[in-house]
Structure 1
Amino acid sequence: MKEQLFVIGDIHGEYEMLQELLSYWDKETQQLVFIGDLGDRGNASSSCFKRVHQLVKDEDAICITGNHEQILLNFLNKPDEYAANYFLNGGLKTIESFLSETDLSKLQPEQMAKQIQEKAPWLKSFLTNLPNYYEWYAYLFVHAGVNLTKESWLNTSSYDFIWIREPFHNGRNRTGKTIIFGHTPTNLLHGDMKNFQIWEDDNKIGIDGGAVFGGILHGLVFDKNGMIHHYGVQKKNDKEVITKTYQ
């Protein structure tokens, strides 16, 4: 087990921001963890999926499944049934990025799903096998949260791990864990549409900084005693990203 852990918030296709944040990761001493929602909405979603898949395969990174991984998997499995829902949630950006040389107006959803799997034969297996959570010392990493009304958080449903919001945000954390999660942009948690900083309350840390909405892609470093570094990547303009060190 490595001495430290580096966790990255919801990426949503912001590949340049991801690459910038990864430059602060020390692979020799830090376990890399992604909190889910790698693609959709952002223009470079396919590059984000490819990069994280490579890091999981070659560098033993951990990637927790998010709701956007699930809706992509739904689309790949049953494209005609789930196309409308996937498109509504930013999935066209992912499809366009995987099929960038294809005229999508000439394709039906079934053809889109088939061509994506031909171009990325690893993708469906990768999505299918992502875990719902990751435990490390006194920390619990999940995409959306856990059901705090259960006697044990381990009894949280697969749906709640990737979709839960207010019942987790507002519930009392008796798990004995510090829970790091994404899914809900932190400006909503702060009640301030301009505040994309991490959100902390009751041993819960929200790290979805709304990167794809003009916010921050957060990277937090922990050791067994607490957070020791905090990096945040933002877009300065369409051609440049900048990193701030908060801790």
Structure 2
Amino acid sequence: MENTYVISDVHGRYDLLKEMVDECMNLNKDTLILLGDYIDGDAKSNSYLTLQYIYQLTKKYKDHVIVLKGNHEEWFCHFVLQYSRVLKTYVTPEPSTIQDFMTPYDYNELIHSAKRKSKNYAEFVDYINEMKRYYLLEHHKELIEWLNKLPLYYETNDEVFVHAGINFVLEYEDLWKEISDENDFLMDFPATIHEQFPKMVISGHIGTSQVKQDAAFHDIYRYKNRIFIDSTVIESKRLNLLKIKNHQYYQIKKNNNEWETLPVLDYFKYEE
């Protein structure tokens, strides 16, 4: 049985993602599952390079790379495509994220053009947003259409992989997909732990420091039938890598430039 690897909340850190893929896995035989939120990072991030890299992985390793949508991708696609909102909370994509898709020259030209056309700030905002949408669709339509069609969950015999969470009603286990909606899959917060759900639910979206209630904690966190990957790459400056092999769960961490494999503890049992 080959390995399954899980990463979430890359937030533009293409460099950290590529390092893990290059050094920790063989996608000719292993499986990589990405749980969403690939964009909207900090000064070290590049959302476009991250999405383009992931998109190329799906082409090169078609049967071995599974990519799910996160709430940041949903917000980005809504901004560009202007369809009806499906999430209760809406946030406009970071300006730096959209800027990552453009050359510096094109971005400056877009700003100057919007200023020339507008009579006030409100008009400027409308113009600049419309120009950004036009530019993104003109230059990156294939990538955006792929992003918009990403699935919201992935299910195996033992696990459900999702960006944020699921909804679940006891005695109706098989109906969780019908009961859950986009706000469950993409925005579940604070994290809901359905202790009677028969599968392990593996997600990102939330900082594990919040789940564990320990501000210094940024590792993978397991509690009963939930595994949280962590979403705080901007703060922690690292990504977490979950490895699944023979129904066991491990965290892959770099220590003194060497990758080490550690079991993921069930903190419900560990803390008792």
The TM-score normalised by the length of structure 1 is: 0.84
User: Per-residue deviation at 1:117?
Assistant: 2.1
Q: Distance in 2 between matches of 1:231 and 1:58?
A: 24
Q: Distance in 2 between matches of 1:209 and 1:125?
A: 25
Q: Which has the higher strand share?
A: 1
Contact 1:139 1:180 in 2 (8 A): yes
In structure 1, the residue corresponding to 2:33 is in which secondary structure? strand
Q: Distance in 1 between matches of 2:132 and 2:154?
A: 32
Q: Superposition pairs for residues 173-192 of structure 1, below 5 Å?
A: 173-192=195-214
Q: Distance in 1 between matches of 2:21 and 2:247?
A: 23
Equivalent of 2:76 in 72, 91, 94: 72
* AA aligned opposite 2:76: L
Contact 2:163 2:204 in 1 (8 A): yes
Contact 2:220 2:228 in 1 (8 A): yes
Q: Distance in 2 between matches of 1:214 and 1:204?
A: 21
Query: Quick check: 1:124 aligned with 2:147?
Result: no
Contact 1:144 1:164 in 2 (8 A): yes
Q: What stretches of structure 1 of length at least 5 have no aligned partner?
A: 237-241
The TM-score normalised by the length of structure 2 is: 0.77
> Please, what is the CA RMSD of the aligned residues?
2.4
Q: Distance in 1 between matches of 2:244 and 2:37?
A: 21
User: Per-residue deviation at 1:244?
Assistant: 4.6
Equivalent of 2:239 in 203, 210, 217: 217
User: Per-residue deviation at 1:233?
Assistant: 6.1
Partner of 2:222: 200
Q: Distance in 1 between matches of 2:176 and 2:254?
A: 32
Partner of 1:140: 160
Equivalent pairs, count: 231
Q: Deviations over 1:215-244 (max 9, x none)?
A: 4301112124222x422469x9xxxxx665
Contact 1:186 1:206 in 2 (8 A): yes
Whose Rg is larger? 2
Structure 2 CA distance for partners of 1:105 and 1:244, relative to 1, 3 Å: farther
Percent sequence identity is: 25
Equivalent of 2:251 in 218, 222, 230: 230
Q: Deviations over 1:98-153 (max 9, x none)?
A: 11422153341111121122222212211221111111230110000101346332
Partner of 1:40: 40
Query: Quick check: 1:7 aligned with 2:9?
Result: no
In structure 2, the residue corresponding to 1:122 is in which secondary structure? helix
Structure 2 CA distance for partners of 1:77 and 1:17, relative to 1, 3 Å: same
